[in-house]
Amino acid sequence: MQVLALAARGTHDLVARECRALGLPVERTAGDGVWMDLTPEQTAKALVGLRIASRLLLHLGGFHAEDAESLYEGAWDLDWPRWMNADATFAVHASGDLIPSTPERRGLDHHLFVSLKVKDAIADRLTRKLGRRPNVAREDPEIRVVVRGRRGRWDVFLDLADPPLHHRGHRAQPGPAPLKETLAAAVVEVVDWRGQGRLHDPTCGSGTLVIEAVNRHLGIPPGCTRWFGVERWPHHGETMQQHLDEERRKGVDHAKSAISKAKGLDVLATDLYPDAIEAVRANLIASGLDGIVRVEQLDAAKLAPPPAGTTIVCNPPYGQRLGGEGVEDLFRSLGDAWRGFTGVTAWVLEGHEGFQAAFGMADTGHQDFSNGPLPVTLRRYALGRVAKANA
Instruction: Kindly state the percentage of the chain with pLDDT values over 70.
Output: 95
> In the prediction, which pLDDT does 173 show?
66
Tens of pLDDT, residues 50-102: 999 999 999 999 999 999 999 999 999 999 999 999 999 999 999 999 999 88
pLDDT over threshold 50, residue 323: no
> In the prediction, which pLDDT does 387 show?
39
> In the prediction, which pLDDT does 178 show?
76
**Is residue 343 a contact partner of residue 385, using CB atoms and an 8 Å limit?**
yes
Tens of pLDDT, residues 101-143: 888 888 899 999 999 999 999 999 999 999 999 999 988 999 9
> In the prediction, which pLDDT does 124 show?
97
Instruction: Kindly state the percentage of the chain with pLDDT values over 90.
Output: 88
> In the prediction, which pLDDT does 239 show?
86
pLDDT over threshold 70, residue 388: no
Provide the mean pLDDT of the chain: 93
> In the prediction, which pLDDT does 104 show?
82
Q: Which domains does the chain have, with CATH numbers?
A: 2-159 (3.30.2130.30), 181-220+264-383 (3.40.50.150)
Find the largest Cα–Cα distance for the chain.
Answer: 74
Closest to 162 (Cα-Cα) out of 179, 145, 184, 137: 145
pLDDT band per the 50, 70, 90 thresholds, residue 175: low
> In the prediction, which pLDDT does 389 show?
39
Query: Cα 234 to the chain's mean position, in Å?
Result: 27
